[in-house]
Every structure is written in C-alpha cells, then in structure tokens.
Amino acid sequence: MRVERIAREAGVPLVWRPFLLGPIFREQGWNDSPFNIYPAKGRTMWRDLERICEKEGTPFRRPSRFPQNGLGAARVACLAFSEPRLPDFVRAVYRANFADDRDISDVQVIGGILESLGQKAGDVIKPAGEAENKERLRLQEGEAIRLGIFGALLLTVGEELYWENDRLEDAISLAQLTVG
C-alpha cells in the first residue's frame, strides 16, 4: 500500500514482479504458511500486522482462510507485468484478501476487481490462463528463487535484498543513491 507512493516521492523507479509464495515455501520444506506451521510466531505476526495497519490507517481484517490460492491473481498480475495498471490491481487483490476477507481464488472475485478497475474481465482472465502467460509466471518464479527470495514483500536494489514494510525506507534510500 505504501511502496508506490514512497518510490514516486523519492524519484526511484519501481518494477513489480509477481511470483507465488507456494514454490518458495516448498523450497524451504514448508507446505503451508509459516504463520500456520509455527503458531506461536504466527500469533504475534498477525497481531503485529494489526498494529501496523492501525498505525498507518490501512484497513485490515484477519482473513478467515489463510493462506489463499493466489495462482489466478498472480497470472493476471503477470499478464499486466510492466503495465501501469498493475499496482492498482495488486493493491485491490490485497485489499480483497486482507481487508474484505474475500475469496481471491474465486475467478468471479478477480473478475469483479478487474471490472472495478475499468477492465473487461473476459479480456484478461482467458489470456492470463494461456500457456504463454503461465510460462511467464514460471520464469518469474525461477528468478525469485535464484535471487534467494524467501518471502513477500521483498525488495531488491541491485544485489541488496530488503524484506518487508519495515525496510521500505532503507531500500528506497539506497535506490536513490544508485539512481542519483
């Protein structure tokens, strides 16, 4: 919710790169979110997220299903890769999942999000599921694993990896030095 604004204010170009967490987690031997596998940590992480969102004024409701299957959404994001409408779509999917407790694996929900952003759902959802685009997501996935990415949101600035909301400002500061 914050990264686009902060990057713009700093004059730093930002490239969104959609990937799935599932294969990344499987690389670590997990078949579920670590929030579920390690409930003591998960409990504090959910509470932490609640506190951050309260502080930021970002709507948040703990989803009744977690994690959800984001494959369809990731494919749509991949199809929109490098298009200026991508960030709006990503934010809307995150809001659906983490504020409105909707089922983002439901093609109707993704279609509704696309329509709300002025897209024809039919124009997007079919090509998103075609072989060429599926392959695009797989390539992104391989690149994420190659970069040593272990979670989301993860920012890369050159060779440096910055993990999560807490490090946004540090990442953007480094990027500013690099750009400047």
Q: Which residues bind its own copies (CB under 8 A)?
A: 27-28, 38, 40-41, 43-44, 47-48, 51, 148-151, 160-163, 166-167, 170
For its own copies, the closer of residues 60 and 81 by Cβ is 60
Smaller CB separation from its own copies, 95 or 167: 167
For 161, phi and psi rounded to 5 degrees?
Answer: -105, 135
Q: Which is nearer to its own copies, 27 or 101 (CB)?
A: 27
Shortest Cβ distance from residue 159 to its own copies (Å)? 10
Task: Report the C-alpha gap between 54 and 43 in whole angstroms.
Answer: 17
The CB-of-148 to its own copies minimum distance in angstroms stands at: 5
- Least distance to its own copies from the beta carbon of 47, Å? 7
CB of 158 to its own copies, least distance (A): 12
In the complex, least distance from residue 66 CB atom to its own copies, rounded to whole angstroms:
18
In the bound state with its own copies, the residue whose beta carbon lies nearer, of 133 and 165, is: 165
Instruction: Name the residue nearer to its own copies (CB basis): 84 or 148.
Output: 148
Start-to-end Cα distance in the chain: 25
Residue 66 CA to residue 170 CA, distance in Å, equals 29
d(CA 78, CA 158): 22
Selection from 27, 37, 2, 44 nearest residue 144 by Cα: 27
Q: How far apart are CA 179 and CA 62, in angstroms?
A: 38
CB 76 within 8 A of CB 114: yes
